[in-house]
Chains A and B, each alone.
Chain A
Amino acid sequence: MTSAERDRYMSEIVPPEVRPKPVVPAKPSHVAPHSSGPFVPSPQGTGGEGRGSALLGYIGIDTIIEQMRKKTMKTGFDFNIMVVGQSGLGKSTLVNTLFKSQVSRRTTSWSRDEKIPKTVEIKSVSHVIEEGGVKMKLTVIDTPGFGDQINNENCWEPISKYINEQYEKFLKEEVNIARKKRIPDTRVHCCLYFISPTGHSLRQLDIEFMKHLSRVVNIIPVIAKSDTLTLDEKTEFKQRVRKELEACGIECYPQKEFDEDMEDKSDNDKIREAMPFAVVGSDKEYQVNGKRVLGRKTAWGVVEVENPNHCEFSLLRDFMIRSHLQDLKEVTHNIHYETYRAKRLNDNGGLHPITSSGQDTQESNL
């Protein structure tokens, strides 16, 4: 890699404002080790003299970024997203729109023979999608039956159980004697919760679900099928929803307490003020002003999914995928999973490490 390429590459990653003062490596002395000269400040943390040693001055530490990048590109990434909400709120369509592929199982319409499940089922589907040389194994976990019964008490329990089972699976593998180099990660990194666009307030079920699960998994609430709300109705509804969540002590992703520094806080504050995102999904394209766009065609116009004036789909996508995808995984691993683990350790007084190799579980071995 030429140094010009390196420079260009580095400027993509490191935002200019994060650049603290560099520590200048000490100029090599001209004298043999037993110098009785004046005390020279140590290289640690002091400014040192100017760039006199510049031509001898490049070690090459920044290249570790490229080394890491190559490695992670080879191993690939995986991401597990769960969608929760009543049937008909457009969950599958939205996920398909987010990832621009048919990654979620679709029920186009209720056929006569297709019954609403009696209890909440957990159905997961995996696909490998690729973009720009990056391979991602995307798993979409659907929860048909949630909120569809007459009596919906405790319908979050199967979901909570599933999430904890994935933590348990990971923990068991981590405690193993001969553990895999890359532990297969089936933990839920993100839970998209679909709010019905009533325009009034959150429903009791919404609050119950989020109360039980916001401390176990990253929840991102979205207002589904928001093309039934006018701009004013949208703004009011969002404000009311935010107030209600705050009143109930529910913290959705990105959680305030996990902001790492001022930069994170200011980025995340902006996102928190815009949430929940009011979205519309579609996999159909129409011609608008000479461009082909994803949208929904009605008698009164075309709702353009990716038009920020029409709905907040682009905001959701940029936030979730283009900037916070990795952070969603990290919060899951460093916080939710650790909480689960600590609880398990304290409960039993310990875990039994498994000596046998166990069953072969599928690995994200991209």
Chain B
Amino acid sequence: CNRNDKQYVGFATLPNQVHRKSVKKGFDFTLMVAGESGLGKSTLVNSLFLTDLYKDRKLLNAEERINQTVEITKHTVDIEEKGVKLKLTIVDTPGFGDAVNNNECWKPITDYIDQQFEQYFRDESGLNRKNILDNRVHCCLYFIPPFGHGLRPVDVEFMKALHEKVNIVPLISKADCLTPNEVKKLKDRVRDEIEHFGIKVYQFPECDSDEEEEFKQMDKELKECTPFAVIGSNTVVEARGQRVRGRLYPWGIVEVENQSHCDFVKLRNMLIRSHMHDLKDVTCDVHYENYRAHCIQEMTSKLAQDNRTDSPLPILPLPTPDVETERLIKMKDEEVQNNHH
């Protein structure tokens, strides 16, 4: 910047300095997808990030699924565009909602999210904070089936179990089986039910008053369109003389990126192009801080119960790695001893 302006000091370059460092380091984002099998979660993820993460996946049949419990699986992929590096982690929840009895099937998921918070809390309170790994879940896409008449009990319970731990973005999946009217009715119904049950889904932040009109208009449309009705596709078809991602039916071609066909573009723009940073911020500033405050309070009250209020609270709240290792060693020793007898 070689401005000849007399009064130019030069700290207007500060944002660039900040971002240059971020670009060098790269970004990371952890996205969770949850919902029953067969709602198109994997396909949607592939469509969003133009990858093929699930190539080697083996689909289980009904018998094999009888004994399946809810698992948590992680896929990580490094993506780069225009010099910006993103380490994307997709957390999948196969088995969710697939059993006959789905009581508390969200528990492994809430446990997973809490574990990431706990690990971060431990690292943040520790001595060596140089390279903390941030595995906290920044956003959870929740897939609602299009076949019903709104939210089902499992949908309500799941979202209520998670809405204070992670940013929930509910989606109406496989929306290509609905007519435009049906989509509208379903969206209205879902929105009403979300409010009725007091579910706190991710809220888009308010626009600044000094934003351009075009942006404000886009923002308004985005908000009125939720929950997004999405369609994903792993295949490329020919439509209107172009090659696009889509689904070929005898009665027509559904184009994933056609905004009059579904809200895929809106979801992608929101998730990646306009709100990715905010999703991370809300995770750090709200969900994580809640967890942390809760954790510290629990520790404080526990110490009070043990009548140890006079001793200072250690800043390393959980057993330090050394203590933990010692305990494990002790356990192993005992095991070995028991085996000898």
Residues of A within 8 A of B (CB): 6-7, 10, 12-14, 18-20, 22-23, 25-26, 28-31, 33-35, 40, 42-45, 53, 55-65, 67-69, 71-74, 77, 79, 98-100, 129, 131-134, 136, 175, 177-179, 181, 260-261, 292, 317-318, 321-327, 330, 334, 338, 342, 345-346, 348-353, 355
Contact = CB atoms under 8 A, between A and B. Distances in A.
A31 B316 CA distance: 52
B275 interface: yes
B100 interface: no
Contacts of B316: 345, 350
A322 B10 contact: yes
Interface string B254-293: 0000000000000011001111111001000100010011
Nearest to A40: B55
Nearest to A60: B273
Q: Which 8 A-B pairs have the closest CB atoms?
A: A132-B12, A350-B314, A326-B17, A67-B277, A322-B10, A25-B50, A60-B273, A14-B83
Q: Which of A132, A260, A330 has most chain B Cβ within 10 Å?
A: A132
A71 to B, nearest CB: 6
B52 A325 contact: no
B66 to A, nearest CB: 22
Interface in B61-114: 76-84, 86
B296 A350 contact: no
A62 B312 contact: no
A61 B14 contact: no
Given A30-B235, A179-B289, A326-B14, 18 more contacts: A22-B80, A25-B50, A28-B52, A33-B234, A55-B243, A59-B79, A60-B268, A61-B80, A61-B86, A65-B19, A65-B23, A67-B277, A69-B15, A71-B277, A98-B9, A177-B297, A324-B17, A327-B21
B18 A72 contact: yes
B48 to A, nearest CB: 8
B175 to A, nearest CB: 20
Contacts of A317: 9-10
B16 A12 contact: yes
A131 B315 contact: no
A59 B49 contact: yes
Contacts of B76: 44
B178 interface: no
B3 to A, nearest CB: 9
A63 B274 contact: yes
B273 A44 contact: no
Nearest to B21: A326
Contact of B83 (A62, A175, A323, A327): A62
Chain B facing A: main interface SS: mixed
Given A62-B84, A98-B9, A322-B1, A26 B19 contact: no
A308 to B, nearest CB: 13
Contacts of A178: 293
A18 B52 CA distance: 28
Interface residues of B, number: 76
A345 B127 contact: yes
B84 A321 contact: no
Nearest to A178: B293
Nearest to A16: B83
B12 A133 contact: yes
A33 B58 CA distance: 9
Contacts of B53: 43
A346 B128 CA distance: 12
Contact of A13 (B20, B236, B245, B274): B20
A64 B17 contact: no
B115 interface: no
Given A56-B50, A68-B19, A131-B8, A351 B315 contact: yes
Contacts of A60: 81, 268-269, 272-273
